[in-house]
Chain A
């Protein structure tokens, strides 16, 4: 599948679909693309006021505002990518019913829109990183690998959601609730160290999103954060989040491949 992704025809198709997506997204808005940058900026402002000035949740964590924004950006990427992909197959029903294109291209192109948004957000983030004098170390070279993990995890979930949405339109609402739950179960707004019970800490970090966000913060913002490695040093449980990512991806990609033959008739 990944070999075919880079065939000329498929590349053109993905880029054209992503382009359309972006054009349509900012259709009729005055500021247009500026919103892609403005959104993380405003988000940062809100987080800063609420969690740094009012609630003071992150006392003790260096560069807490950047720490907070980074977690938020990664979580938002996951939400955006999965919710867009969820409806991508059904939303592109007109294409699927009329022309033969590899079905996965549609999911991939909707995921790429989300990736582009993530990159724009990271641009804003790096401005804050510089502004806050965050000490960047060599550990940041690991960051791309963490993002690859994030992408594969999101893609796995996306394939599953997109496929099941064709048959069960309630997935939409179920996923909304699950995302809401996931948001609070993942240490995004609160630092993991705020949870006093070690067992709970250990359970929470098994969620791939928690592991990914904590690792990314660790290599970028501050060493003062609890990671999967810190909790499970030397234990086999350390691998659980990665195994979850791989299993979800393989299962979902297969499910998608099997069902995609029938998309045209079922949509």
Chain B
């Protein structure tokens, strides 16, 4: 396997996000002897491994914040990995962002030379290519204008025209097609087609399904820093679709939830439902289940005021289904006297879902109400999401317990 040009092995990248800004000397001196942790670790990539072969068009797919750009920046050598190793063979040119070093106060012409130098071209080389670049970008009459007077489309065209001159073995491309009109996009596509024929290796990050499918051979799908899927680009994109669809439908619910979390002080609730957990019969906490798994849901709630006989319940909704698919509470189950709770005590509720719920995305709505069920002490619309797969039955909410019996009688 000597044709591997990029080898990423077990790469983890962590960012230290400071809890309190410690950008000044004063706070450094004051905090010098404090031993407590001053930052949270944000894992952008989690033990990622993959290989890119020579001449390949390799796609990196994922939602915003999934670690794509971090990965690309590490390939480009801008960030260094916290753990693991990255091996790149050959000259690599990153187009992480177009127009690096463009300065709005300089003219288009001057910017061409500056940008060229950043890509490794001497002034003479740039002189020779200058006309080609300007013609490709179609902005000859603006070249002596300051860059700040360019439209964003013009800037991108200019930057792209310079960047494609860079002859390199490996290109890193990060969503460059987002700007530019149709005619310019056609030019980009022509360029990619040309690249595909040559033996240049391209690592391509994009949201644009169409161009990914059209150009890439293989790819990986990142989700929260993990490689969720790898291999043929079509299968990777299929997985990507699933994630995106789930995200879109979850958005409104997630929004409501976030809004609630943003101002916890305003909502001094009588009880506070804490983290909701889902787990299987082996007590593995997870949120992706097979349809044959036993699924348990539990939560705890902190009581902030003395209360008597609260009703605690759990409702489960399926995405795109109007009514809850599952609902239970202490009252329905016949426990009328749940007892008195003092401030600081904990309410615990655990329930098990029926088996053989078909594939889909679900969200849990825990609630605690007063004795007469007239007010909610606390209720979270979308406290937790979980996923079920494996049944391949899109027609109904549940599947039969066992195989149906079919006979001729």
**Dominant secondary structure of chain A at its interface with chain B:** helix
A24 near B103 with CB under 8 A, answer yes
Cα–Cα, bound, A9→B122 (Å): 7
A13 near B118 with CB under 8 A, answer yes
With A8-B122, A12-B117, A99-B118 as contacts: A23 and B106 at CB distance below 8 Å: yes
A168 near B24 with CB under 8 A, answer yes
CB A42 to nearest CB in B, in angstroms, measures 26
Cα–Cα, bound, A27→B104 (Å): 12
The segment from B2-10, B94-102, B295-303 found at the interface with A is B94-102
**Is B114 among interface residues, defined by CB-CB distance under 8 A?**
yes
B78 near A99 with CB under 8 A, answer yes
**Is B23 among interface residues, defined by CB-CB distance under 8 A?**
yes
- Enumerate chain A residues within 8 angstroms of B120, measured Cβ to Cβ: 9, 12
- Enumerate chain A residues within 8 angstroms of B101, measured Cβ to Cβ: 94-95, 99
- Enumerate chain B residues within 8 angstroms of A94, measured Cβ to Cβ: 100-101
**Is B76 among interface residues, defined by CB-CB distance under 8 A?**
yes
**Is A224 among interface residues, defined by CB-CB distance under 8 A?**
no
B110 near A170 with CB under 8 A, answer no
With A13-B117, A24-B106, A27-B105 as contacts: A97 and B24 at CB distance below 8 Å: no
B106 near A12 with CB under 8 A, answer no
B103 near A170 with CB under 8 A, answer no
**Is B15 among interface residues, defined by CB-CB distance under 8 A?**
yes
**Is B63 among interface residues, defined by CB-CB distance under 8 A?**
no
A20 near B76 with CB under 8 A, answer no
CB A119 to nearest CB in B, in angstroms, measures 21
**Is A233 among interface residues, defined by CB-CB distance under 8 A?**
no
A20 CB contact (under 8 Å) in B15, B110, B122? B110
- In the complex, which residue of chain B has the Cβ closest to the Cβ of A92? B101
Contact flags B21-62 to A (C-beta < 8 A → 1, else 0) = 001111010000000000000000000000000000000000
Q: How many residues of B contact A (CB 8 A)?
A: 30
A98 near B103 with CB under 8 A, answer no
- Enumerate chain B residues within 8 angstroms of A20, measured Cβ to Cβ: 103, 106, 110, 114
CB B9 to nearest CB in A, in angstroms, measures 19
A95 near B106 with CB under 8 A, answer no
**Is A235 among interface residues, defined by CB-CB distance under 8 A?**
no
- Enumerate chain B residues within 8 angstroms of A169, measured Cβ to Cβ: 23-24
- In the complex, which residue of chain A has the Cβ closest to the Cβ of B123? A12
Cα–Cα, bound, A94→B99 (Å): 10
B25 CB contact (under 8 Å) in A8, A99, A170, A265? A170
- In the complex, which residue of chain A has the Cβ closest to the Cβ of B92? A100
B23 near A168 with CB under 8 A, answer yes
CB A99 to nearest CB in B, in angstroms, measures 5
- Enumerate chain A residues within 8 angstroms of B23, measured Cβ to Cβ: 167-169
B24 CB contact (under 8 Å) in A9, A16, A170, A265? A170
With A20-B110, A24-B106, A94-B101 as contacts: A100 and B25 at CB distance below 8 Å: no
Q: How many residues of A contact B (CB 8 A)?
A: 30
With A16-B117, A24-B105, A167-B23 as contacts: A99 and B110 at CB distance below 8 Å: no
- Enumerate chain A residues within 8 angstroms of B387, measured Cβ to Cβ: none
- Which of B80, B110, B117, B123 gathers the greatest number of chain A CB atoms within 10 Å? B117
**Is A115 among interface residues, defined by CB-CB distance under 8 A?**
no
Cα–Cα, bound, A16→B118 (Å): 9
Cα–Cα, bound, A40→B99 (Å): 37
- Enumerate chain A residues within 8 angstroms of B326, measured Cβ to Cβ: none
Contact flags A1-37 to B (C-beta < 8 A → 1, else 0) = 0000000110011011101100110010000000000
Cα–Cα, bound, A95→B24 (Å): 24
B78 near A168 with CB under 8 A, answer no
Cα–Cα, bound, A264→B15 (Å): 11
**Is A39 among interface residues, defined by CB-CB distance under 8 A?**
no
A264 near B114 with CB under 8 A, answer no
CB A164 to nearest CB in B, in angstroms, measures 9
- In the complex, which residue of chain B has the Cβ closest to the Cβ of A169? B23
CB B78 to nearest CB in A, in angstroms, measures 5
With A16-B113, A168-B28 as contacts: A99 and B76 at CB distance below 8 Å: yes
Cα–Cα, bound, A100→B168 (Å): 14
CB A63 to nearest CB in B, in angstroms, measures 42
Q: Which chain B residues in 116-172 approach chain A with CB under 8 Å?
A: 116-118, 120-123
CB A172 to nearest CB in B, in angstroms, measures 11
- In the complex, which residue of chain A has the Cβ closest to the Cβ of B111? A20
**Is B390 among interface residues, defined by CB-CB distance under 8 A?**
no
Cα–Cα, bound, A95→B122 (Å): 18
With A20-B114, A169-B24 as contacts: A12 and B78 at CB distance below 8 Å: no
**Is B255 among interface residues, defined by CB-CB distance under 8 A?**
no
CB A15 to nearest CB in B, in angstroms, measures 8
Cα–Cα, bound, A174→B29 (Å): 14
- Enumerate chain A residues within 8 angstroms of B78, measured Cβ to Cβ: 96-100, 264
- Enumerate chain A residues within 8 angstroms of B207, measured Cβ to Cβ: none
- Which of A24, A174, A265 gathers the greatest number of chain B CB atoms within 10 Å? A265
A12 near B100 with CB under 8 A, answer no
Cα–Cα, bound, A100→B100 (Å): 11
**Is A101 among interface residues, defined by CB-CB distance under 8 A?**
yes
CB B302 to nearest CB in A, in angstroms, measures 37
CB-defined A-B contacts under 8 Å, sample of 5:
A8-B122, A15-B123, A95-B118, A99-B94, A264-B73
Given contacts A27-B105, A99-B94, 20 further A-B contacts (CB under 8 A): A13-B117, A16-B117, A20-B110, A20-B114, A23-B105, A24-B106, A95-B101, A96-B78, A97-B78, A99-B76, A99-B78, A99-B101, A101-B118, A168-B23, A170-B24, A174-B25, A261-B80, A264-B73, A264-B79, A265-B15
* Chain B interface residues toward A at CB < 8 A: 15, 23-26, 28, 73, 76-80, 94, 96-97, 100-101, 103, 105-106, 110, 113-114, 116-118, 120-123
* Chain A interface residues toward B at CB < 8 A: 8-9, 12-13, 15-17, 19-20, 23-24, 27, 94-101, 167-171, 174, 261-262, 264-265
